[in-house]
Structure 1
Amino acid sequence: MSEPNASSEFDLNVWLANLPQELPPGSRETSGDDQVLVEAKDTDYIHNLTLYRAVDSGDLETTKSFLDLHPDALTASLSADGDTALHIAVLAGRVKVVGELVKRIDEKDLAIKNKNGATALNFAATGGVTKIAEYLVRKNRELLTIPNQHGNIPVVIASLYGHDDMVRYLYRETPIEELDPDKGTNGAMLLTSCIIDDIFDIPLDLLQRYRKLAYAQDNDGDTAIDMLAQKPSAFPSGTQLAFWKKWIYSFPAIKHIYEVKLAHVQTQELLSCVCREISTQGESQFEKVGIKKVVFIAVKHGIVEFITEIMKHYPDIIWCYDDYNRHIFSYATLQRQEKIFNLIYTMGAKKNSVATNWDKAHNNILHQAAFLAPSSQLDRVSGAALQMQRELQWFKEVESIVQPKYKEMVNLHYKTPRALFSDQHKKLVEQGEKWMKETAESCTVVAALIATIMFSAAFTVPGGYDEYTGIPLYLHRNSFMVFIVADAMSLFSSCTSVLMFLGILTSRYGEEDFLKSLPRKLIIGLSSLFFSIATMMVTFGVTLVIILKARIAWVSFPIILLASLPVTLFALLQFPLLVEIFYSTYGPGIFNKPKKWWIIETE
């Protein structure tokens, strides 16, 4: 047959008409019995799709009706991954459908795996619906010991996905020998996963049963002590609590505080148990678990309880160094972990040796204090000015424990600690200056406005003046004296506030100014401003009382209550900052160095 001529539409139609209407023999995909098989397969697919949709959507009645007519579909593969109806129902979290399927299915068929090697209980552990797991385990307890394709049994799978309730249920039901470290890594996997998930009672119970788990490695090569070193929130030193929560921490009556403290107690007990077991294997076991690397991770996170517990069982840990030849106190200084650094004061004469070390770049411990703190530590302090103050406090404190010659020691970049500090903190000084000036400018406007109002109020007293003598008409009333005193105090305090903020605006902003001078001015300025606002509201309230008198006191009372709203708002918004500045400037500080007046020398 010749090809069509593109130039003629008639020829094209003729060519198309001459095409064969049927495929040549042997070209059909199926014929005879094969065609029957294809049609049967399509029919099964349609039936299975009906069951798939019913199970996946949780349509219990349709599921029952379908299985009544097609009971063989109960164990049939309904998806490309080989999932049965039970797999699909478990994945979809259809509790009622799962219950119905479990009633109908044989015990041994509950253990059917899909093409990825997962049983229905493996899927249930992934989903975290405990009721579904109960249905499955109640009928076939062998499911608890069947691993997935990665070798993880259901309780381990649940812990990897962070399902606390599921983990606790499966742990109670799982034969404990499945978690024996000599049998596999499931025990170590469960131990490390639970620590990550803040579940500590299960690891404690596991360690009591299998001591080897204290140093056993999981599938990722991690041990329990590795995970504990990365969980600062599991220890008191790494938990940030509000002031009132800290106060009641010793008497945890509130549920949340009780749970936090319980987690801390369990974590410390777990850590003690792990360290005790490792130490019974000898000093070499500490080396095998990579204790030096773990310790520096704990130092980075500031977990002082971790370091002190390790030191009890392995005292030489204080002499370990990282890859840059930094010891733990030098690294704690670099990371600005004051709770770790404070341990140096408990070392007696040893601290002198520690303070003379330097790293590969010839940075001594004072150089480490000169580096800019990590952003995670800086962000714990409000405002760039207070961040600069904290950096200066660190530098001054470390400077007080090093030998005099180390203050002028240069590193490989020919920088002394002081020069390095200035280079590292140039940007922070600029940010601190900007923060101080913006704060001072805003507060100056408010203070000046209050001063203007209070000055005017002193000459427009309530009740007016005697037209002959010019003496205020209510001069002899006690309430009038309260008005005058409150007005004067508000005026004087607002003027003081203005002067302090002007002093901030005209400061030279040297590095040392951020240590005491600027914070002191800000404390006085904010305190005066707060006091002036409070006394201004008192002046306003007394004025209402004088004018309205007792006849309509019910009007003045709610107005006075509303007048206290600005004072309350200012206290909520600015008072925490004032307290923080005062505490950081005049408080006990972050360093627990011994007080000389408490030391009594004995012969």
Structure 2
Amino acid sequence: MLIEVSGLRDLFPSGLRFVFWKRWIYSRIQVKLPTAQYSDVRINISQNGHKHPRSLLVRGLGPLRRLCSNLLQFFGLKQLYDTKLTHAYALEILHWMSEDISTIDDTKLEQSGVYDAFFRAIKYGVIEVVMGILKANPDILTVLNKNGRGILDSAVEHRQEKIFSLIYVLGTRKYMLISGTDQCQNNILHIAAKLATPDRLAHISGAVLQMQRELQWYKEVESIVNPLSQEYTNSSNEKPSQIFSDTHKQLVSDGEQWMKETATSCTVVGALIITIMFTAAFTVPGGNVQDTGFPLFLHKKSFMVFIISDAISLFASSTSVLMFLGVLTSRYAEDDFLKSLPTKLIIGLSTLFISIAAMMVTFCATLIIMLEGELKLVIPITLLASIPVTLFILLQFPLLVEIFVSTYGPGIFDRKIKYCY
């Protein structure tokens, strides 16, 4: 049963896929397990060939569970409560299993399936199972799988950053884990240089972010190994840098194509906005006074809004076009995908959004000046003017946030992870 549970990531908090506000609510839900009805707990796991989790049914929960469930369902939070309850029961079952593992003789661990469950949990990123097994028997930390790879090698192979983050709390023991080689004489840097499996890349949006994530993994592993490991050759006489370049050629090509297409489209939009805003600055609403040449509505507040928003839109769109031109003329080297290209894309998309928003403000200010007092027309048209900005936010803002977090966020590795062995 431990082998089956070790691959069911959705049963544990590490498999949580809620958006940030649901995560916030989830962290504040309190779940209390019944103390006298464990005999009524039943796990029903359906598998479809890939052995992915389908359901966890828990019965005999008592009146307290039913009351809480009804209240949360009333507020639309029953799914969060059920998820939290599922995780609580899974952790409790894991605790029982860990106690059993601690009683097994070391010579019988492999036969009992503990090693298989351990590496299966690493493959699927079930950090709770990995830590539970290690706490039950810390000696399993140095166990190798059939390919001669240990816990850190397997974590890098399957791109499981939560498992790999254990390296930050292992102290001097980590050097023993990162200095070995597998059956093909690959060290841990060789493993990091290979392209991630398609199922791990599928969780990342776009070839650019996928390439960035691959570089983050490679650079992170490179920073912890001996510098001589960079020149070490495997049984195929390949260095880690050679493997990285060979296996990531297609990803670099796809990322380059996506960046150029995005930059070209955004450059066209930015150039149109520049033309419109530049023209609007010299054809002000209401015209100019013939004697002085000053704008007729110079002293109106709405006119000042018009001028300021026009200038902001013009300058922001100009910056956006320059950034996207920088993207188009980039050399597209591998290291450029780490920060250079994402930074240009962040600035370009941000300034393009600002220019579109400021352009809509300019348009609304012009309507207010020209249709003074006609609120029946001004208000509906102003509301319609917010539609393009809203659409841009819905379509592009999530991508912008994802790129920003991936480039300048806290990173995928948890250096503050807590683990005691």
Q: Are 1:501 and 2:324 matched, yes or no? A: yes
SS of structure 1 residue aligned to 2:146: coil
Deviations 1:24-43 (A, max 9, x none): xxxxxxxxxxxxxxxxxxxx
Name the residue aligned to 1:301. 124
Name the residue aligned to 2:160. 337
Q: Are 1:239 and 2:16 matched, yes or no? A: yes
Name the residue aligned to 1:328. 151
Name the residue aligned to 2:396. 574
Alignment of 1:255-266 (within 5 A): 255-266=78-89
Q: Are 1:558 and 2:335 matched, yes or no? A: no
Unaligned runs of 5+ in 2: 30-71
Name the residue aligned to 1:479. 302
SS of structure 1 residue aligned to 2:284: coil
Structure 2 CA distance for aligned equivalents of residues 326 and 529 of structure 1: 48
SS of structure 1 residue aligned to 2:131: helix
Structure 1 CA distance for aligned equivalents of residues 175 and 107 of structure 2: 28
Indicate if the aligned counterparts of 1:279 and 1:285 stay in contact, CA closer than 8 A: no
Indicate if the aligned counterparts of 1:279 and 1:286 stay in contact, CA closer than 8 A: no
Provide TM-score, normalisation by structure 1. 0.60
Task: Give the counterpart letter for 2:135 in structure 1.
Answer: K
Question: Which residue among 217, 228, 234 is the counterpart of 2:5?
Answer: 228
Name the % identity: 56
Q: Are 1:439 and 2:271 matched, yes or no? A: no
Name the residue aligned to 1:587. 409
Q: CA deviation at 1:284?
A: 4.7
Indicate if the aligned counterparts of 2:184 and 2:235 stay in contact, CA closer than 8 A: yes
Task: Give the counterpart letter for 2:17 in structure 1.
Answer: Q
Question: Which residue among 185, 206, 212 is the counterpart of 1:389?
Answer: 212
Task: Give the counterpart letter for 1:445 in structure 2.
Answer: V
Q: CA deviation at 1:594?
A: 6.0
Q: Are 1:314 and 2:137 matched, yes or no? A: yes
Alignment of 1:163-562 (within 5 A): 224-252=1-29, 254-284=77-107, 286-550=109-373, 552-562=374-384
Structure 2 CA distance for aligned equivalents of residues 489 and 384 of structure 1: 32
Aligned CA RMSD, in angstroms, stands at 1.4
Name the residue aligned to 1:46. none
Structure 2 CA distance for aligned equivalents of residues 419 and 441 of structure 1: 32
Task: Give the counterpart letter for 1:517 in structure 2.
Answer: S
Task: Give the counterpart letter for 1:389 in structure 2.
Answer: Q
Indicate if the aligned counterparts of 2:231 and 2:240 stay in contact, CA closer than 8 A: yes
Unaligned runs of 5+ in 1: 1-223, 596-603
Name segments (4+ residues, structure 1) moved above 4 Å. Answer: none
Deviations 1:408-427 (A, max 9, x none): 10001111111111111111
Aligned length in residues: 371
Task: Give the counterpart letter for 2:371 in structure 1.
Answer: L
Q: CA deviation at 1:508?
A: 0.5
Q: CA deviation at 1:587?
A: 0.8
Indicate if the aligned counterparts of 1:516 and 1:585 stay in contact, CA closer than 8 A: yes
Change (3 A) 1:281 1:321: closer
Indicate if the aligned counterparts of 1:278 and 1:285 stay in contact, CA closer than 8 A: no
Q: CA deviation at 1:451?
A: 1.1
Provide TM-score, normalisation by structure 2. 0.86
Task: Give the counterpart letter for 1:416 in structure 2.
Answer: K
Structure 2 CA distance for aligned equivalents of residues 515 and 509 of structure 1: 11
Deviations 1:454-478 (A, max 9, x none): 1111112111111222211000111
Structure 2 CA distance for aligned equivalents of residues 505 and 339 of structure 1: 36
Indicate if the aligned counterparts of 2:101 and 2:137 stay in contact, CA closer than 8 A: no
Task: Give the counterpart letter for 2:228 in structure 1.
Answer: K
Structure 2 CA distance for aligned equivalents of residues 305 and 513 of structure 1: 36
Task: Give the counterpart letter for 1:452 in structure 2.
Answer: T
Name the residue aligned to 2:42. none
SS of structure 1 residue aligned to 2:27: coil
Structure 2 CA distance for aligned equivalents of residues 491 and 314 of structure 1: 64
Deviations 1:408-453 (A, max 9, x none): 1000111111111111111111011011111111111111111111
Bigger radius of gyration among the two:
1
Indicate if the aligned counterparts of 2:110 and 2:116 stay in contact, CA closer than 8 A: no
Deviations 1:192-251 (A, max 9, x none): xxxxxxxxxxxxxxxxxxxxxxxxxxxxxxxx2011112011111122111221222212
Indicate if the aligned counterparts of 2:125 and 2:162 stay in contact, CA closer than 8 A: yes
Structure having greater relative contact order (Cα 8 Å, sep ≥ 6):
2
Indicate if the aligned counterparts of 1:275 and 1:309 stay in contact, CA closer than 8 A: yes
Name the residue aligned to 2:33. none
Structure 2 CA distance for aligned equivalents of residues 287 and 326 of structure 1: 15
> Which of 247-256 and 488-497 deviates more?
247-256
Deviations 1:547-591 (A, max 9, x none): 1112x1122111111111111110111011111111111111011
Indicate if the aligned counterparts of 2:101 and 2:133 stay in contact, CA closer than 8 A: no
